[in-house]
Homo-oligomer: A and B are copies of this chain.
Amino acid sequence: MDPGAGMHALVRRLYPLCRSITGDGVRATLDIIGEHLPLTVHEVPTGTEVLDWTVPQEWNIRDAYVADATGRRVVDFRESSLHVVGYSVPVHTTMPLADLRAHLHTLPGQPSLVPYRTSYYAPTWGFCLAQDTLDELPDGDYEVWIDSTLADGHLTYAEHVVPGQVTDEVIVSCHVCHPALANDNMAGVAVAVQLALGLENPYYTYRFIFAPGTIGAITWLARNAERVGKVRHGLVLACAGDRGSLTYKQSRRGDAEIDRVLAHVLRDRPHEIRPFSPYGYDERQFCSPGYNLGVGCLTRTPYAEYPEYHTSGDDPDLVAPEAMADTLEVIRAAVAVLERNRTYLNLFPYGEPQLGRRGLYDSLGGRSDAKQAQLAMLWVLSYSDGEHSLLDIAERAGLPFDSVAAAASALRAAGLVKE
């Protein structure tokens, strides 16, 4: 199975689960991810202080519906977990439609779609449904039933670590708190899983974090105060599968290495690069001024900018296998640059060293290849003054990073540069 198809199958399987910021939907999601990757699952008790926040009560739901006088479920949680407002308190009552309307959420401008709504920190209950459905409901009494519990329990998140040659880390973070939405963010999860599976003996240590948005990232940061200092680079992955082109949102630093690497690998395909803003996904937390990590956010169409965003239209059909494969390819290219981006020092900085007697002329294959390889060597020699990384040199020279990295390897093997 090609990677796109495999990722799409995982999205379809994860899609229907009723995730929230806590509860069994998250656990079921992590169980399925765990079939692909070994995970360390963390359970953090309700009431734990995490930075400025407190881990909330755990929410679970078994069933919910609105039924008409005949007992027919006109809104049914079993059809889609979007139908219940996340963190709805339990309710079982009967009320006329006129009163029920205050608890019904629709999208009048997109009447066939069911919206996604939550109310984590203000206790309430509600249902989400299509405006078209609501318009067909006759007046009269309706039975309302939400079989949920909101009680002390845990917040659940998981990590997968690929150890590197160094303990400096690259983090890849995906939120896993959205219920039946595919692009946001099961597509991101699927791409992250595939990326993790492909990492073999990397230079950096790679840490994949699957956690609920905001409170999950905050919990991770609170519990990893020392590890944060090891985080060199990072990416938040979201909306990774729609058919739009890629958008990279820079870290708050704006010139972090990850920012420059993404600009480099995106250069030759349609893309957009945006400066940091303090809203979006969990880059908000990783880039808060106390941490200010070099963590950017890679999406296809950015959050809130596609019409199906946070609606039942964000289903597995919105996600394309080829789009996920494209996202994966770019991340892998970024990783390939990060892994090899070093700063070398030219050990023969006075004049050019004689490449000919070291076999570095014509020694690298065909004509045109050899010429580019020789140019790359001259660029690496000229700018390896301790102040320019290989990425700096590639950008300055207008050469592919691979060519510059290969030149550096050849020069290093010949004793002309050192790390």
A288 lies within 8 A of B382 (CB): yes
A278 within 8 A of B: yes
CB proximity of A214 to chain B, nearest CB, Å: 8
Inter-chain CA distance A336–B210, complex, in Å, is: 46
Q: Which of A153-161, A305-313, A349-357 lies at the binding interface? A: A349-357
B52 lies within 8 A of A348 (CB): yes
Residues of B within 8 A of A349 (CB): 288-291
A278 lies within 8 A of B379 (CB): yes
CB-CB contacts below 8 Å: A289-322 with B = 289-292
CB-CB contacts below 8 Å: A209-229 with B = 214, 217-218, 221-222
A167 within 8 A of B: no
CB proximity of A203 to chain B, nearest CB, Å: 26
Inter-chain CA distance A375–B277, complex, in Å, is: 9
B278 lies within 8 A of A378 (CB): yes
A346 within 8 A of B: yes
A385 within 8 A of B: yes
Q: Copy number in this complex?
A: 3
A53 lies within 8 A of B354 (CB): yes
Residues of B within 8 A of A287 (CB): 382
CB proximity of A299 to chain B, nearest CB, Å: 19
B350 lies within 8 A of A291 (CB): yes
A252 within 8 A of B: yes
A221 lies within 8 A of B351 (CB): yes
A384 within 8 A of B: yes
A39-78 interface bits toward B, Cβ cutoff 8 Å, 1 = contact, 0 = none: 0000000000001110000000000000000000000000
Given contacts A356-B121, A382-B278, contact A221 B350 (CB under 8 A): yes
A249 within 8 A of B: no
Residues of B within 8 A of A221 (CB): 350-351
A351 lies within 8 A of B288 (CB): yes
Other CB < 8 Å A-B pairs besides A121-B357, A284-B378, A285-B351, 5 of them?
A52-B352, A121-B356, A290-B350, A291-B350, A291-B351
7 closest Cβ pairs, A-B complex: A290-B349, A278-B382, A290-B350, A278-B378, A289-B385, A51-B351, A52-B353
